[in-house]
Amino acid sequence: MRVTGRHATRTPSTRSAKPAWELELGYGEIKTDMLDRLESIRCRTIAGVEQELWGILLAYNLIRLEMERTANDFGVEPTRISFVTSLRIICDTWSWCALASPGALPTRLKTMRELFTSPVLPERRTARRYPRAVKIKISNFPRKRPSNA
């Protein structure tokens, strides 16, 4: 975006912001939702860290694959499927599968697919705009600050 005086004009460089934003959202989903805001990797060796990172990325891509399949089933864009809800459904299903007999796994997975009706989000608003504005001053009185007593 190029700003001249009071006006901002779009340039070709701002068109590439959407894919970069989607990458940031994906990184945020991994860090916030999958890892529960943990800041560190548990492994202490280089090979262990590499294995843990590959495991995280594999799990993320498998969840995204299931979201894409769900989107195709409902005829919507994959970005309209909630990552958080999908993650919770898959985690709950696999927790129950650990307790179930091997013969019950196909039934459990079918039930999981039926639960995927809930994560469909409404369409994104494309005409959202937030023009610049000056905030209104709330009071004419000065702020009360703590005294250094």
118-149: per-residue pLDDT in tens? 777 887 777 767 777 777 777 777 777 777 75
Do residues 9 and 2 lie in contact, with contact meaning Cβ atoms separated by under 8 Å?
yes
Q: What is the Cα–Cα distance from 63 to 69, expressed in whole angstroms?
A: 10
pLDDT at position 18:
62
pLDDT at position 117:
73
Could you tell me the CA-to-CA distances from 27 to 11, 56, 61, 86 in Å, in that order?
26, 11, 12, 16
Query: Residue 57: inside a domain, yes or no?
Result: yes
Query: Residue 1: inside a domain, yes or no?
Result: no
Nearest Cα neighbor of 59 from 26, 100, 18 is: 26
Total domains present in the chain:
1
Query: Residue 123: inside a domain, yes or no?
Result: no
User: Would the pTM of this model clear 0.75, i.e. be above it?
Assistant: no
For 67-125, how does the pLDDT look when each residue is reduced to its tens digit (9 = 90+)?
A: 888 888 888 888 888 888 888 888 888 888 888 888 888 888 888 877 877 777 887 77
Query: Residue 144: inside a domain, yes or no?
Result: no
Do residues 25 and 17 lie in contact, with contact meaning Cβ atoms separated by under 8 Å?
no
Q: Which residue has the tokens 């701002």?
A: 14
Query: Residue 125: inside a domain, yes or no?
Result: no
Both structure tokens of 95:
């927790």
Query: Residue 98: inside a domain, yes or no?
Result: yes
SS3 7: strand
Q: Which domain holds residue 66?
A: 16-115
Query: Residue 46: inside a domain, yes or no?
Result: yes
Output the CA angle 116-69-52, nearest 5 degrees.
90
Both structure tokens of 113:
């697919």
Query: Residue 101: inside a domain, yes or no?
Result: yes
Q: What is the Cα–Cα distance from 110 to 97, expressed in whole angstroms?
A: 12
Is 17 a residue whose pLDDT tops 50? Answer: yes
